[in-house]
Amino acid sequence: MLGVLKPAEGGLRSVGVFFLEFMKCPAAVGSICLSGATLANRLLEGVSREEDGLVIDLGAGLGPVSAHMMRSGIAKDRIIAIEVNGVFKELFAARCPGVRLVIADARELKAILDREAPGRKISAIVSSLPIRVLGSQLTENILQQVKSVLRERGGVLIQYSYALWLNYPLQDYGLAPGSASIVWKNLPPARVESYRVWNKRTTKLIAMSAK
């Protein structure tokens, strides 16, 4: 079954609330419907279930990605969901009981993590933020925060986008590209990319793969 059919698992109310918020502010919400299970699965493919590093659900919405994290064996105390729109709070809690949701702007990522999980390592930041349409200043501010916390705490950024033809655009913001793949079984299909902060090792790996 198409992953796209999965979003209705939270009930028609979820679908309706998400769609209404999209109609109010398309650029901030970035999608007319929740991510499907196939996409959520791909986003988490490389995330270790054994480590105890944080897994951040950035732009958590109604929680399909956090819910998949729980189902796929990532311990709840590793998950921090961050979402700017407080309207989603109640439905998120119903879908992801016991998962920490912080209603805040991703531009405050560093301060949020310093407050919620001081000193803890990061395994992955899984971002559903509509990074290509947020506007270049907002994107720049968010990615500065992402780079700062990855540099300090380790981990990888996993970002999806519906712009299937754009290869690694976050390189322009100073992030080092990793793996990429397209998930066709989602509405709409999505491109999943991973990034790390540049360091001596990533520079060397990228130079080698270019040869």
Residue that is written with structure tokens 């360091």 in the block: 199
Binding site for ligand SAM (CB under 6 A): 28-31, 34-35, 59-61, 64-65, 82-85, 105-107, 128-130
CB of 199 to ligand SAM, least distance (A): 26
Cβ-contact 62, 91 below 8 angstroms: yes
Q: Considering the complex, state which of residue 124 and residue 129 has its C-beta at the smaller distance from ligand SAM.
A: 129
Cβ-contact 173, 143 below 8 angstroms: yes
Q: 168, exposed or middle or buried, with CB in 10 Å at 0-12, 13-18, 19+? A: middle
CB of 166 to ligand SAM, least distance (A): 16
CA nearest to 129, candidates 141, 139, 114: 139
Q: Considering the complex, state which of residue 35 and residue 194 has its C-beta at the smaller distance from ligand SAM.
A: 35
Q: Considering the complex, state which of residue 108 and residue 152 has its C-beta at the smaller distance from ligand SAM.
A: 108
Report the alpha-carbon distance of residue 155 to residue 99 in Å, rounded: 20
Q: Considering the complex, state which of residue 35 and residue 159 has its C-beta at the smaller distance from ligand SAM.
A: 35
CB of 152 to ligand SAM, least distance (A): 20
CB of 164 to ligand SAM, least distance (A): 15
